[in-house]
Amino acid sequence: MTQKPPRRGTALRLHRQLERIWSPDPRFRGWLTTNNNNDVGRLFLAVATLFFVIGGLLAMLIRAQLATPGSAFMGPEAYNQVFTMHGTVMMFLFAIPFFEALAVLLLPGMLGTRDLAFPRLGVYGLWVYIFGGSAVIVAMLMGLSPDGGWFMYPPLSSAAFSPGIGADVWLLGITSIEVSAIATAVEIVVTVLRYRAAGMSLSRMPIFAWYILVVAVMILTAFPPMILGSLLLETERALGWPFFQVENGGDPLLWQHLFWLFGHPEVYIIFLPAAGMIATILPVMARTTLLGYGWVVAAAVSLAVLSFGLWVHHMFTTGIPHLGLAFFSAASTLVAVPTSIMIFSWIGTLWKGRVQMKLPMLWLLGFFATFVIGGLTGVMLAIVPFNWQVHDTHFVVAHLHYVLIGGYVFPMIAAVYYFQPLLTGRFHYFRLGAVAFWLVVPAFHITFLAVHVVGLLGQRRRTWTYDEGQGWELLNLIASTASFVMAIGFALVILDIGITTFSGLRGKRNPWGATTLEWAAPMPSPAYGFASIPIVRGRYPLTDDPDLPQRIARGEGYLADTSRNRREALIVTTTTGKPLQVAVMPGNSALPILLAVVTSTSFLAPLVQAYWLSALALVGVVIVALVWVWTTAPRQSEGLVDAGHGARLPVAAESPDPPGWWGSLFLLVADGVHFGSLMFGYAFLWTVAPNWPPPSYLVPTLLPVLLALGGAAALAAGPRLAARAVATGHRTALALVLSLFGALSLATAAASVMLARQDPAGHAYDAALWLLAGHVGFHAALAVIMLGYLALRRISGHGLRVGEARIVSLWADFTAATGLVALAAAWLPGTFA
Amino acid sequence: MLAGSLAILVLVLALLIAALLRRPAQSDDSERGTGLWLWTLGLAFPLTTLAALTVYGLQMGERLLPRDTPDLVTVTAEARQWAWTFGYPDAPGLATDGVLHIPAGRPVDVQITSRDVVHSFWVPRLAGKLDALPGHVNVLRIEAPAPGTYSGQTAEFNGAGYAGHVFTVQAHDPAAWVRFLQEGPP
Ligand code: HEM
Ligand SMILES: [Cu+2]
C-alpha cells in the first residue's frame, strides 16, 4: 500500500471550520440549548447513573430492614414505599435511560454519521425524562411514594385502596418516562435505517446497530399497552371511569394483561442492548471477529418476536385455562433458544480468538458466570408446577437480580470502561477498577445465592419483616452483609470511572484495536464526529483500510465541504447504503427544553389538582411545537447540492420522504399499537369481565354514521390531492379545505358518541366508548393543527413541499382508518343487539 | 431438575474456560466452527433439552389437574384485606375465619375469590398458589395426606397488612369432619 504523507494542514483547517459550525454555545446555557448527541448523551448518562445510585441506596434500606427478624427499622408503610420505589427507579429511571444514553453517544460514530436523525427530539426526550424522574424522587422525599409494588395491580392501586397521590405520582411520572423513551426510539430507528456511512449496507452494520434497532422497535410496540394501562388507571382514579372495578363492568385482570404485554418485552428491552455491547466488545477483546454475525442478528430478532407472546407467564396463577398454560409454558422455554445461540456464538468467538484480560473483558466474564445461572433459574420458573411453588417468594427476587444485574449492569459497566477512551479521550491508569470488580462479583453471588435459598424455604417477597425460628435469620444476615460489600464495590466503580474521566492519561486513537467506525473519529470525539462521511466497503472498515481515520480527517469522504456553513449529514438508502439525500441538521436552540417544560407541566400539574394549569400547558405544547416546526422548515428551495465525490443530491427537506416522514411512520406504529391495545381492552372487558353486557347499548343514528364515512373519505383523499397538487404545481387550497372538512366531520361523529352516553363513570362500557371517541377526537384535532400549519405555509408564501404534504397525509390516513374502526366498534354492538 | 440445570451450567462454564485458556497462535477470522457452536450447541442442544423439560412439566401439571371424583368436597375461600373467610356448601350457613377445615385423604376443591383487592391462596405443602380475584372464582384442587394443621398464606402483595395475612388449614379424620359439619368448629 502506498502511504501518502498526511496533509495535516487540510485536516486541521477542516477541523476548525466544522468545530465552529457544530459546537454548542460555550456559555453555561449551552447545556440547555445544545442538541449535539455528545452533550445530550453525557447528560443522559450522568442522570441515569444518579438514578442508579438512588435505586441502590433504596436497595440498601431494604437489605438493612431484612437483615434481622422483627426489625424495627421500618414499618410496613415505609417498607412498601421503599421496595416499590426501588423497583420503579431501577426499571424505569435507570435501566432504560442508561442504554439509551449509550446509544445516543455511540450510534452516530458506529454508523459513520455525524449526529442522530432528530437531534432536537433527543434533547426533548432527555428533559422530559429529567423532569418526570425528578418529580417521582421529590414525591418520595416528601413521603408520598406509591406503595403498591412496581406493577401496581388494581384494585389495590385504585382510588378506594390507595387514596393519596402516591399512585398518581407513579402513573404520571412513568408516563413521562415512556414518552421520552418513545421519542428516543423513533430517533434511533430512523438513524439506523437512514443515516449511515456511504456503502454501509444493512449487512455491514456494526452488530450493536442491529441490536439497538431491534430494541427501539420493541419500545415502540411494547410501551403503548403500558401507556394505555396508565391512562385507564389514571382516568379511573381521577374521574371514576370504572375500568378495573368489577361492580361497574371493569376487570382488574385487564391491567395485568396490559402491564405484562409491556412488562415481559421490557425484560428483553433491557437485556438486548447489553447483549449488543457484549457482541461488540467481546470480539475486540479476543482479537477476532464475531462468530456467526447473521445468526446473532436472527437470534436478536426472534427473541424480540418471541417476547411478545410470553406475557401470560407472569399470570400463571390467575386461573388461566389449562391449555393456555401449556401453550405459554412451552413458548416461555423457547426463548432459551435464541439466548443460547447468542451465548454459544460468544463462547465460539472467544474460542477462535486470543483473549486479552483487560478490564472490560473481566466484567464480561462476570456477566457469563452470573447470567447463565439466572437463565437456568428462569427456565425452572417457566415450568408451571414449579412456578406455582415459588412464585412471589424471594426465589423470584433472586432470579430477577441475576438476570438484571448479571445480564445488564455487568455488561454496561464493561461498555463504559471500553468506550471511556473514546468518550473522554482518557485512559485508565489505576488498579481501582480490578479491586472494585473483585468486590462486586463475589459479593453479588453470595447475596443472591442466599436469597435464592431463603426463597425456596418460603420467604415471601414484599413482606416487611419475618419471624424468628423459620431458619431464615442466618441466610438473610449473610445476604445483607454481602449486599453492603457489593454496594461499596459499585461505589468504587463509579469513583474509578470518575477519576479517569477527569484525570486519566491521554492516549492514541483506537487503543483496543477495534474494527468499527466509531474508533476512526478523533479522541475524544468532537461535536461533528467525522470531518467527512466515511466510505466503507465491508463490515470491518478499520481492518479493510487502516488509513481510514486519516482519510476521513482530510475530508476524503462525503460532505467535507463546509462552505454552506451549516450542519449536514448523509442520508443513504436503507438496504444498500447508497448516498441519497443531504440532511440539514438544526442548530442550537432552547425550543426542545421549552417543549419539555410545558409537556411535563401538563403531566404533573394534575398531581396537585391544577387541572387548569395542565390544560394551559397543553396549549403551550401545541404552540411551542408549531414554532419548532415552523422555524426548522427551510424557506427556499435549493435543488441539488454537491455532496462530494461528484454526487449531486437533493436536500432531505425537498425529498418526498424526508426524515420527518420516516419519523412519523414509526411514531404511528406506536400509535397503532396503542390503538390496538385499546381495542383489545374493549374486547377483553366484553368477553371476560363479569357484569357484561352493559345494561343498555348505544344505538347509532344515521347522521353521525354518514359524517364518519364521509369525513374519513375526505380526510384520506384531501392530503393526497394536496401532495399531488404541490408536486405538479397546482393550487392546493381546495384539497386543504376538503381535508379540514373531513377532520371536522369525523370529530363531530366522535362527539355524537359522547353526547349520546353522558355518564362515562357509570359502566366500563360507557368509559370505553368515551376513550374510543376520545381517540378519534384527539387525532382529528391533530389533523386540524397539521392542516392549519400547511395552510399557514401556503398563505405566508413559503410554499408547500411534497414531503410535508405527505407527512400530513400519513397522519390523516391513520386518523381516518382507526377512526372508522373505533366508531364501528362503538356502534356495531348496539346496532345488532 | 436441579441436577440437570447444574450439569448445563457446568458444561457452559467449562466451555467458556476452555475458550479462554486456548491461545491459538493466530486468531482466526473465519466462520469455521459454525457447525459446532451454532448448529449443535446453540440450536440443537437447547431444543432437545427444552422439549424434554416441557413434556415433563406438562405431565406434572396434568397430575395436578382437578378431576371428577365421587368423594370430592367443595369449600369456598373469600379473601379480603387482611383476612380469609371460608364457607362449606355441605353445611350451609357455616363459616370460619382464618382456619379452613377440610377432610384428610379426600380431594377438596377450593373456590377462591376476593371481596376487595387481588390476593392469592397458597398452602405450600398442599398445592401451588392460585389468585383470588374480585369478580372471578378460581378453583384449586388440594388434598391433605393426613389429619393435622398446614399453614397457608397470601402470596400476592395486597397492602400494609400483607406480611400478617396468613391462615391455617385444619385437616380432619372422617369422624371429626362429620362432627365439624354438624357442630361447627370445636
Ligand atoms: C444493588 C444491589 C441490589 C440489591 C441489594 C437489591 C435488592 C432487592 C431486594 C431485597 C428486593 C426485594 C424486596 C422485597 O420484595 O421485599 C428487590 C426488589 C427489586 N429489585 Fe433490586 N436490588 C439491587 C439492584 C437492582 C437492580 C440493578 C435492579 C434493576 C435493574 C433491581 C430491580 C428490582 C426490582 C424490579 C424489584 C421488585 C420490586 C417490587 O417487588 O416491586 N434491583 N431488590
Ligand atoms: Cu416475563
Whether the CB of A798 sits within 6 Å of ligand 1: no
**Strands in A376-463 per DSSP E:** 426-427
Spans of all domains in chain A: 693-832
* Residues in A touching B54 (Cβ below 8 Å): 329-330, 333
Q: Who contacts A727 (Cβ-Cβ below 8 Å, separation ≥6)?
A: A802
**Residue A648 DSSP SS3:** strand
The pLDDT assigned to B63 comes to 65
* End-to-end Cα separation, chain B, in angstroms: 43
**Residue reference for cell 414509526:** A666
- Cell matching residue A805: 404534504
Atom 36 of ligand 1, nearest CA residue: A87
Which atom of ligand 1 lies at the shortest distance from residue A62's CA? 10
Atom 32 of ligand 1, nearest CA residue: A87
CATH fold for domain A693-832? Four Helix Bundle (Hemerythrin (Met), subunit A) (1.20.120)
Cα(A704)–Cα(A586) distance, integer angstroms:
44
**What is the per-residue pLDDT across A16-56, written as a single tens digit (0 to 9) for each?**
999 999 988 888 888 899 989 999 999 999 999 999 999 99
**What is the per-residue pLDDT across A202-248, written as a single tens digit (0 to 9) for each?**
999 999 999 999 999 999 999 999 999 999 999 999 999 999 999 99
Entry pTM = 0.95
Chain A with chain B: Cβ pairs closer than 8 A: 221
**What is the per-residue pLDDT across B97-141, written as a single tens digit (0 to 9) for each?**
999 999 999 999 999 999 999 999 988 888 878 899 999 999 998
**Among A397, A461, A463, which residue has the most ligand 1 atoms within 8 Å of its CB, making it the best to mutate?**
A397
Nearest to A393 by CA among A404, A381, A405: A381
- Cell matching residue A143: 413521603
Candidate CATH numbers 2.60.40.420, 3.40.1030.10, 3.40.630.30, 3.40.47.10; the one for domain B73-183? 2.60.40.420
User: What b/e string do you get for A756-776 counting C-beta neighbours within 10 Å, with b at 16 or more?
Assistant: bbeebbbbbbbbbbbbbbbbb
* Residues in B touching A154 (Cβ below 8 Å): 117
Instruction: State whether residue B96 sits within 8 Å of chain A by CB.
Output: no
Secondary structure (DSSP) of B82-138: TEEEEE-TTSTT-EEESEEEEETTS-EEEEEEESSS-EEEE-TTT---EEE-BT--E
**pLDDT confidence band for B61 (50 / 70 / 90):** low
Secondary structure (DSSP) of A129-148: HHHHHHHHHHHHHTT----S
pLDDT at residue A694 above 60? Answer: yes
**pLDDT confidence band for A323 (50 / 70 / 90):** low
- The bound ligand whose nearest atom lies closest to the alpha carbon of A479 is 1
**Among A264, A314, A390, A401, which residue has the most ligand 1 atoms within 8 Å of its CB, making it the best to mutate?**
A401
Spans of all domains in chain B: 2-64, 73-183
**pLDDT confidence band for A4 (50 / 70 / 90):** very low
* Burial tier of A143 (Cβ tally within 10 Å: 0-12, 13-18, 19+): exposed
Cα(B104)–Cα(B146) distance, integer angstroms:
5
- Kindly compute the dihedral angle of the four CA atoms of residues A152, A154, A157, A163, in this order, to the nearest 10 degrees: 180
Distances (CA, A) of A677 to A97, A161, A216, A221, A771: 24, 26, 19, 10, 12
Amino acid in position A602: S
How many CA atoms, within 13 angstroms, populate the side-chain half-sphere of residue A73?
A: 16
**Residue A542 DSSP SS3:** helix
**What is the per-residue pLDDT across A741-770, written as a single tens digit (0 to 9) for each?**
999 999 999 999 999 999 999 999 999 999
Which atom of ligand 1 lies at the shortest distance from residue A447's CA? 5
- Pairing verdict, β A579-584 and A647-650: unpaired
Q: What is the ipTM of this complex?
A: 0.91
* Residues in A touching B161 (Cβ below 8 Å): 76
Instruction: State whether residue A689 sits within 8 Å of chain B by CB.
Output: yes
For A:252-271, CB contacts with B below 8 A are 252-253
Phi, psi of A594 (to 5 degrees): -65, -45
CB within 8 Å: B159 and A156: yes
Atom 8 of ligand 1, nearest CA residue: A59
Task: Give, to the nearest 10 degrees, the angle between helix A336-352 and helix A359-382.
Answer: 150
Cα(A375)–Cα(A399) distance, integer angstroms:
8
**What is the per-residue pLDDT across B138-160, written as a single tens digit (0 to 9) for each?**
999 899 999 999 988 888 899 98
CB within 8 Å: A80 and B31: no
